[in-house]
Amino acid sequence: MEDKTLGIYIHIPFCASKCGYCDFYSCAGADKMMGKYQEALLAHIKESLPQIQRYYIDSVYFGGGTPSYYGAKYLCEVVELLKSSGKLLREAEITVEMNPDSMRLGELKQLRRAGANRISMGVQSANDEILRTIGRRHTYGQAVKAYMFARQAGFENVSVDLIYGLPGQTKEDWADTLSKVIGWNPEHISCYGLKLEEGTAMYEVYHDTPAIPDDDMQADLYIYASELLERYGYRRYEISNFCHKGYESRHNLKYWKLQDYMGFGPGAHSCVENLRYSYVRDLQKYITGVLTGRPVLAEREEISGIERAYEYLMLGMRTASGISEKEYSRQLRSDFAPLLSKLELFRDKGWVENNGSRWAFTTSGFLLSNLLIGELLEVQAQQNAMGIPYLQQVLDSMDREELPMGEEESFLREVMGNA
Ligand code: SF4
> Mean pLDDT by 10-residue block, N- to C-terminus, for the chain (419 residues)?
85 97 95 98 97 96 97 98 96 98 98 98 98 97 98 98 95 98 98 94 92 90 96 96 97 92 98 94 98 96 87 92 88 80 94 92 92 93 66 48 47 45
Is the CB of 24 inside a 6 Å radius of any atom of ligand 1?
yes
Return the closest-CA partner of residue 8 out of 73, 112, 110, 81: 81
**How far apart, in whole angstroms, are the C-alpha atoms of residue 98 and residue 333?**
42
pTM of the model: 0.90
What are the two backbone dihedrals, phi and then psi, of residue 84, each rounded to the nearest 5 degrees? -65, -15
Task: Determine the pLDDT at residue 387.
Answer: 57
Pocket test for ligand 1, best of 10, 12, 14, 19 (most atoms within 8 A of CB): 19
Cβ-based burial of 41 (10 A; exposed 0-12, middle 13-18, buried ≥19): buried
Q: Is 67 in the pocket of ligand 1 (CB under 6 A)?
A: no
Instruction: Please state the atom number of ligand 1 nearest to the C-alpha of residue 69.
Output: 1
Does the domain formed by 5-256 have CATH 3.20.20.70?
yes
Is the minimum distance from the CB of 98 to ligand 1 under 6 angstroms? no
In the chain, which segments carry CATH 1.10.10? 306-416
Determine the pLDDT at residue 391.
Answer: 45
Instruction: Report the pLDDT value the prediction gives residue 22, as an integer from 0 to 100.
Output: 96
pLDDT of residue 401: 43
pLDDT at residue number 94: 98
143 Cβ below 6 A of ligand 1 = no
d(Cα 192, Cα 120) in Å, to the nearest integer?
14
10 Å Cβ neighbour count for 101?
Answer: 19
Half-sphere exposure of 296 (CA within 13 A, CB side): 25
CA gyration radius, the chain: 22
Domain ranges in the chain with CATH number 3.20.20.70:
5-256
What tens digit of pLDDT does each residue of 317-336 get? Answer: 999 999 999 888 876 677 78
Q: Which atom of ligand 1 lies nearest, measured to the CA of 99?
A: 1
Residue of 24, 70, 96, 192 to test ligand 1 pocket, by largest number of atoms within 8 Å of CB:
24
Quick one: pLDDT at residue 400? Answer: 41
Q: Which atom of ligand 1 is nearest to the CA of 136?
A: 6
CA distance 225 to 261: 30
Check if 22 has its Cβ closer than 6 Å to any atom of ligand 1.
yes
Between 1.10.10, 2.40.30, 2.60.40, 1.10.286, what CATH number should domain 306-416 receive?
1.10.10
Does the C-beta of 26 come closer than 6 Å to ligand 1?
yes
